[in-house]
Each structure stands twice: as structure tokens, then as C-alpha cells.
Amino acid sequence: MGRKFSAAELFSVSGPSHLTAVDWTNVHHRRAIAASLVEAAYRIERDRQENRQGPEAQASPYWEFFHFKLNHVLIDNVDNSIFGVIYEYNFPNPHLFHNNHNQLKPPKYAVAFRGTLTQPDTRSRDLKLDFQCICNTIHESSRVLLAMQAMQSLVSSCGAKNVWLAGHSLGSAIGLLVGKNMAKMGFPLETYLFNPPFISAPIGSIKGERVRHGIRIAGSIMKVGLSTVVKGHHPQHITSAHDDHDRDTFSLLSAWFPYLFVNPADPICSGYIGYFEHRKTMKEIGAGEIGKLATKSSFESIFSGALGKETEPYDLLPSAFLIINQTPSPDFRRAHSVEQWWNPNFHFRSLTYQFSS
């Protein structure tokens, strides 16, 4: 869940260098800058592994071009790799922003998490974390703990409105957990998640819209049924507490709208398209309540609950801005790349989904 890039690539050639005049009120500019900061998180670790320093280092143009400076790096305590970067914005003209308090401004800080790198120093650890995403145990990793500590410190010092959160692939999974936890505490962050992993059966690849809808409807009914059976085996007070927790969790998260950037040709993230479309379909056919119940859980979390281990699916969300790249991708690498999201000419569809209790 990451991307491999050539050491010969330069920001001036492959980066978002076309943004010479940034309009911070433009959501497309903000998206491109967030993607650039995520790319820098990849490159700073590659620079470290290949011992590139000074003029040979590739990472710094990806943040310096947009007037950010490196504030701090987050280091994995298992393989000592850099998995996240905290950037601080250098206001070139602070009076411009103080004069209009209602205008969208650059963040004071931005935190970006890279995805999987298959280089020798990071391959083993990153692939293990990819597997933890599949098994819904990524929340147990030390990276998530370190990321949460860093984010809580930033928010307590300058407020949630002054902090951006961004990630790609495995880094999006970490960012999603951090964002969800912060939103539950009442601190929704402006969040950009590129190619976020969605763990599900590849229903979207099935030809025939009716067949796909039929499978998803049957799956929702089965999930609600299984969930009811599992909860029925618990004492009533435990069941009620579990139901209240489900309602409260989605209620707390419903006001948080992360930007999810997905490509239909990327099986790692494309499941989000069907996930949100299906919830809308269930409402349209008069099965909205079943859809609401099903959208909160996965089969894995239900079976874990049957074994007495309550787990919340990290990849399920009540609300989101979903941006779908509709430009054809020639291969998986392009479909899963970071650079597609700063391309000024890509065709996209933007959808807003909000969960109502």
C-alpha cells in the first residue's frame, strides 16, 4: 500500500510546480498541496535510506515551494524509519491573512503520513502494517500511537482549525484513525486521505449493476441479522451499552468530513465508491434503517464481537467528501499514485455524503 518512485525524479519535473500562485480558498490548490506534502514524507525517508543530503536530497522542494518548513519527523520505533512529517507554515505575508478572519488560510501545521516503501530498510515493517490493515488491527501499531500523541500535542497548542492531516495508502489508514479519534474528542481536522484502504470483497469489479446491488443488499441484511444474533447472546445491559456506543460513535463522527481521494482502477481504495453509493441506494429503496445499521459494521467486527472482542472497523465512515478520479489509468501504479492528485487536468466526480442518525 504505497508507491515506488525513481530517484531521478525532480520536483521541477514531476511535482506540482505549476502552482506558482496559490489560492488558499481553492479546494483544488489545497488538494495539490496536501498531496505534495505527503509525497515529501515518502521522499524524506528515501533520502535517509540512500544517504542523500544537501543539494542531492529530493524531499525539501515538496514543502519549501509552498512556504512550509520542516518542524518534526515521526520515527517508527521498530525499524527507525520516518513514517510521518510535521510541517510548519512560514507566512510570507502575514498581514494578508490577519485582515480577513473569514478567509480560508494555510494551516499553521500540516501532518502527513507516507504509505508503504519497499526499500530494504522499510519493506518488512511496512508490509506487516499493511497486513494489520487487512486484519483491522492497525490501531494496535506503535505508529498510530505516536501519530496520536503528536496530533494531540499540536491541537492543544494551536487548535484543530490550524492543523491539516494528510496521508496516502497505509499513511491514509493511519491518518484515518488519528482523524477519527480526534473527531470523537470534538476536534474535527481538515483531512486529505489519498487512496485510503477499504477492506472489502471486490464487489465493484463485478459486471452488472443489478448484480452488484443485489449482492450488497444481501450483505447488508446478513450483517444486520448476524449483528442481532451476536448481540442477543450478550446480557441485555451489555447489548444496550454496545448499541449506545455505535450510535454515539457515528454521531460524534458525522460532523467530520474528510476528503477521500479514490481511483476506481485501484482495488485498495475503490471500495469506498460502492460503500457510500450503497447507503444511498438502501435509502432510495426504503431500507434506509438497514443501510444505516449495516454501514457501521463489517463482517470481521461482527465475528470479533461474537468472540467477545469488540473491534471498530477503522475504514468505515459516516460522512465524507468523496473525490473520484475519472481519468483512465493505464496501470495500477498510476491508479495508486500520489501525483495523480496534483495533476491540474484530471477529470473527477465529487460527492458529499453525510450520515443522519
In this prediction the pTM is 0.83
Q: Name which of 201, 191, 36, 40 is nearest 107 in CA terms.
A: 191
C-alpha cell at 349: 466526480
DSSP conformation class of 54: G
- The residue to which cell 481521494 is assigned: 261
Query: Does the residue 190 lie in any domain?
Result: yes
Distance (Å, whole) CA 316 – CA 296: 7
Q: What is the pLDDT of residue 338?
A: 97
**166 — phi, psi (to 5°)?**
-145, 155
Report the pLDDT averaged over residues 292-316. 55
For residue 329, give the 3-state DSSP assignment.
Answer: coil
Query: Does the residue 158 lie in any domain?
Result: yes
Distance (Å, whole) CA 209 – CA 275: 14
User: Quick one: pLDDT band at residue 98, thresholds 50, 70, 90?
Assistant: low
**Whether pLDDT at 342 is above 80:** yes
Number of domains in the chain: 1
Query: Does the residue 134 lie in any domain?
Result: yes
Q: What is the pLDDT of residue 346?
A: 86
User: Quick one: pLDDT band at residue 268, thresholds 50, 70, 90?
Assistant: very high
Distance (Å, whole) CA 221 – CA 46: 46
Could you list the residue range(s) of the whole structural domain that residue 85 is in? 11-194
- The residue to which cell 503520513 is assigned: 113
Residue bearing the bigger pLDDT, 77 or 311: 77
Task: Evaluate the CA torsion angle 21, 25, 28, 32 in order and state its sign.
Answer: positive
User: Quick one: pLDDT band at residue 223, thresholds 50, 70, 90?
Assistant: very low
H helix runs in 159-312, sequence order:
170-184, 209-232, 236-253, 271-284, 288-294, 299-306
Query: Does the residue 357 lie in any domain?
Result: no
Chain centroid, CA 319 distance in Å: 13
Helix (H) or strand (E) holding 144: helix 142-158
Distance (Å, whole) CA 48 – CA 85: 13
177 contact partners, CB below 8 Å, separation of at least 6: 138, 139, 144, 147, 148, 314
Average pLDDT, the chain: 82
**Whether pLDDT at 311 is above 70:** no
User: Quick one: pLDDT band at residue 221, thresholds 50, 70, 90?
Assistant: low
Q: Name which of 327, 319, 317 is nearest 347 in CA terms.
A: 327
CB–CB of 41/73 below 8 Å?
no
**Whether pLDDT at 18 is above 90:** yes
Q: Which of 131-145, 230-244, 272-286 has maximum average pLDDT?
A: 131-145
Q: What is the pLDDT of residues 164-202, one digit of tens each?
A: 999 999 999 999 999 999 999 999 999 999 999 998 655
Report the pLDDT averaged over residues 302-318. 62
CB–CB of 69/87 below 8 Å?
yes
**111 — phi, psi (to 5°)?**
-115, 125
Of 44-58, 153-167, 269-283, 315-329, the range with the lowest mean pLDDT is: 269-283
% pLDDT > 90, the chain:
58
Q: What is the pLDDT of residues 247-260, one digit of tens each?
A: 567 778 888 999 99
